Amino acid sequence: MEQWAILIARSSEELLKKHIRSSFMEKEKIKNLYLQLIEKINSNYIFINEPMKKHTSFKIGGNADIFIKVQNANDLKEVLSIIKTQKIPFFVIGNGSNILVKDGGIRGIVIKIDFNKIEINKKDEIYEIKVGAGVKLMTLAQRLLKQEISGFEFASGIPGTIGGAIRMNAGAYGGEMKDIVMSTTYMDEDGNIFKINNNEHEFEYRNSIFSKKRWIILETNFKLYKGIQKQIKEKMEEYANKRRENQPLNFPSAGSIFKRGEGYITAKLIDECGLKGYNLGDAEVSTMHAGFIINKGCATAKEVLQLIDYIKEKVYEKFKIEIQLEIQIIGE
């Protein structure tokens, strides 16, 4: 993706029109914002008119006006200061594994948290693991396996980052983030840094205080235990095999589209409506797992959203139950 320095050097209005779309943010405003940003952070981490399909597991979505990979808390604070001064809308992502970006893209700034620190400290038989919000769950699971640390196996196959997992209290196979979190450090919109303990997370099923606030997770401390490598590996392989057997991992998706309800399994309701394999364009209800909508090639967000509405309608017609989304829909 060509950056503003190149575009300005070529000084071509046609190039400007090509690389900066007409949107909520005018061309000059994006240009000026870019110039402000590169005074504070490395320009290699700033992208103009960036396709969001490159940054979501669904492989769907229009372009973000400005996309920034933030490497540390100081850079994040600088970005938030500019955002506040210029009154620019912003959205924060991790691995993009639980979102659907609309076809019109995202106005303003998308911040990708790229904090990848992992620190392991042992106290007796207890391990305190300090992990940056950008670390992928799979990456951490493999690191813990090598060091024979147990308690994180349930999360080893979840395709997200630590920040996203804390935000939504991610879980699988009987475990959830709430079971292992000691504390989380976050930054508010004004650049102030705070730390909260487990209770202050207000963990619920697929929810936490971070789902309700505009706070940005920086790092989390986990409490884990000494294990036996062979047993840890066996458990991780067992969970991986279950995922391969029951989930359409060979197609782009955002995981479970709908939340599990109280007293019912949403995917089972969708299956009983005969919707497995139902499609709109390249958006299809997985034939393997009715809770997944997959992208069979070139699905658009519009097709996925229409399919979501159709599923909701059919489930309500048959069971009089209003099923709720688990994924987040953003953009325009």
Per-residue pLDDT of 275-287, as tens digits, reads 999 999 999 999 9
Mean pLDDT of 123-149: 95
Cα–Cα distance measured from residue 309 to residue 181, given in angstroms and rounded to the nearest whole number = 35
**DSSP secondary structure letter of residue 260:** P
Per-residue pLDDT of 7-42, as tens digits, reads 444 433 443 444 444 444 577 888 889 999 999 999
Q: In order of start, what are the domains of the chain with their CATH numbers?
A: 4-113 (3.30.43.10), 118-233 (3.30.465.10), 248-330 (3.90.78.10)
Residue 124: pLDDT band with limits 50, 70, 90: confident
Mean pLDDT of 90-111: 95
Mean pLDDT of 165-181: 95
Q: Kindly report the number of other CB atoms within 10 A of residue 40's CB atom.
A: 14
As annotated, the active-site residues are: 206, 256, 326
Cα–Cα distance measured from residue 48 to residue 276, given in angstroms and rounded to the nearest whole number = 39
What does pLDDT average to over the chain? 91
Q: Which pLDDT score, from 0 to 100, does residue 25 have?
A: 54
Q: Which pLDDT score, from 0 to 100, does residue 125 have?
A: 83
Cβ–Cβ < 8 Å for 137, 95: no
Indicate whether 258 pLDDT > 60.
yes
Residue type, position 166, single letter: I
Both structure tokens of 91: 């959205």
Indicate whether 330 pLDDT > 50.
yes
Q: Where are the beta strands (DSSP E) in the chain?
A: 46-51, 63-70, 90-93, 99-101, 106-113, 118-123, 126-132, 149-150, 171-172, 175-176, 181-187, 193-197, 216-226, 253-256, 279-280, 283-285, 292-295, 328-330
